[in-house]
């Protein structure tokens, strides 16, 4: 196994038209979960990935399970909760780039994940553990599961990659900051956005954020700067990598997960940081071109074509 990850995946209702939800009547059924987005992205690129989670024993849980399995993700570590439901979120797309997310995930099946999960074979077989800051915000048993996974990673010599993914609707900045710092201190690679970097370190520019996180113990830091690209810092090297322009930005949710998958694939392929972050920026750009978190993510060949600048109609 190349990468194992744990986290909640929800049923997402995405509006068929923009506008306040009280005026919207139709929704599309989508699947949403930062960690499963990363697992799907990596699987499409040809890596072996395992997603560990808990779903409701309901039609939506079954659908999520089958979708992940269909994407080639190992779901042997997924359990079904006979009582708690699959989590749900509803997206509201307002004018411009304003999107609001309404969560119905409190008491969900995934919020009952616990540290017993880390005894699953997926956790001892993988080269990299990928965690986000969403899982510890889901409840105390989930937080214990994340820290047990970090212990397991240390025991097994797995590299840890951490995307803070701060969700203000799940916990306060004050609650999240010390937890994020602890996870960062045990990570090989940390992938904050600039605001998350500030939350963790108090610094407001990418370079100081990265320096601070490295002084906590992270070996490498990549600060995401949205369409502008990203800044990376390792012990040997640092630099800015520009983002890719896309003709139309349709849905930015999921771009960070695609970016994380690019960094993970760079790590797995032993790329130098410039090339890894360039790949991450390409995946992030592709993710925003279609509605949905992961639908537009490429396989290797499509990614190669995008990096070569091939666009337009191909016949």
Binding residues for ligand KDG, rule: CB under 6 A, are 32-34, 37, 134, 167, 253-254, 256-257, 293
Judged by beta carbon, residue 196 or residue 293, the one nearer ligand KDG is 293
DSSP H/E element including 179: helix 173-185
Residue number of the CB closest to ligand KDG reads 32
Selected catalytic residue, list 119, 257, 274, 293: 257
Judged by beta carbon, residue 8 or residue 198, the one nearer ligand KDG is 8
119 is catalytic: no
d(CA 202, CA 225): 17
Residue among 105, 80, 167 at smallest CA distance from 132: 167
In the chain, the DSSP E strands lie at: 3-6, 10-15, 27-32, 49-56, 78-81, 88-93, 99-104, 128-132, 159-163, 189-190, 220-224, 229-233, 238-242
Judged by beta carbon, residue 216 or residue 263, the one nearer ligand KDG is 263
Q: How many CA atoms lie within 13 A of 147 on its CB side?
A: 12
Judged by beta carbon, residue 70 or residue 121, the one nearer ligand KDG is 70
Work out how close the CB of 228 gets to ligand KDG at its nearest, in angstroms, rounded to a whole number: 19
d(CA 15, CA 22): 11
- Which residues are CB-contacts of 134 (< 8 A; sequence separation ≥ 6)? 7, 8, 34, 35, 165, 167, 170
d(CA 304, CA 310): 9
DSSP, res 74: B
- Which residues are CB-contacts of 39 (< 8 A; sequence separation ≥ 6)? 3, 5, 49, 50, 51, 68, 71, 73
Work out how close the CB of 135 gets to ligand KDG at its nearest, in angstroms, rounded to a whole number: 9
Work out how close the CB of 34 gets to ligand KDG at its nearest, in angstroms, rounded to a whole number: 4
Judged by beta carbon, residue 32 or residue 218, the one nearer ligand KDG is 32
Work out how close the CB of 236 gets to ligand KDG at its nearest, in angstroms, rounded to a whole number: 30
**Active site amino acids:** 257
């Amino acid at each position: 196994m190349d990468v194992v990850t744990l986290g909640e995946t929800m049923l997402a209702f995405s509006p068929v038209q923009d506008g306040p939800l009280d005026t919207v009547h139709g929704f599309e059924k989508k699947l949403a979960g930062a960690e499963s987005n990363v697992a799907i992205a990596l699987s499409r690129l040809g890596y072996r990935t395992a997603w560990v989670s808990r779903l409701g024993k309901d039609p939506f849980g079954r659908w999520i399970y089958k979708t992940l399995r269909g994407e080639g993700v190992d779901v042997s570590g997924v359990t079904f909760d006979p009582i708690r439901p699959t989590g749900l979120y509803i997206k509201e797309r307002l004018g411009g780039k304003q999107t609001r997310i309404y969560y119905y995930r409190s008491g969900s099946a995934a919020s009952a994940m616990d540290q017993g999960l880390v005894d699953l074979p997926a956790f001892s077989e993988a080269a990299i553990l990928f965690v986000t800051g969403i899982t510890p915000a889901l409840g105390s048993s989930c937080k214990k599961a994340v820290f047990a996974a970090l212990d397991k990673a240390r025991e097994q010599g797995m590299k840890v990659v951490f995307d803070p993914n701060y969700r203000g609707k799940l916990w306060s900045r004050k609650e999240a900051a010390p937890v994020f710092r602890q996870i960062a201190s045990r990570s090989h690679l940390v992938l904050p956005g600039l605001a998350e970097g500030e939350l963790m370190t108090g610094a407001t520019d990418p370079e100081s954020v990265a320096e601070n996180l490295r002084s906590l113990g992270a070996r490498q830091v990549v600060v995401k700067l949205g369409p502008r690209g990203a800044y990376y810092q390792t012990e040997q090297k640092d630099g800015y990598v520009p983002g890719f322009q896309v003709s139309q930005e349709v849905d930015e949710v999921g771009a960070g997960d695609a970016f994380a998958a690019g960094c993970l694939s760079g790590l797995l392929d032993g790329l130098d940081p410039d090339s890894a972050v360039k790949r991450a920026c390409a995946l992030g750009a592709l993710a925003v071109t279609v509605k949905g978190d992961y639908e537009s993510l490429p396989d290797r060949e499509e990614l190669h074509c995008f990096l070569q600048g091939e666009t337009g109609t191909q016949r």
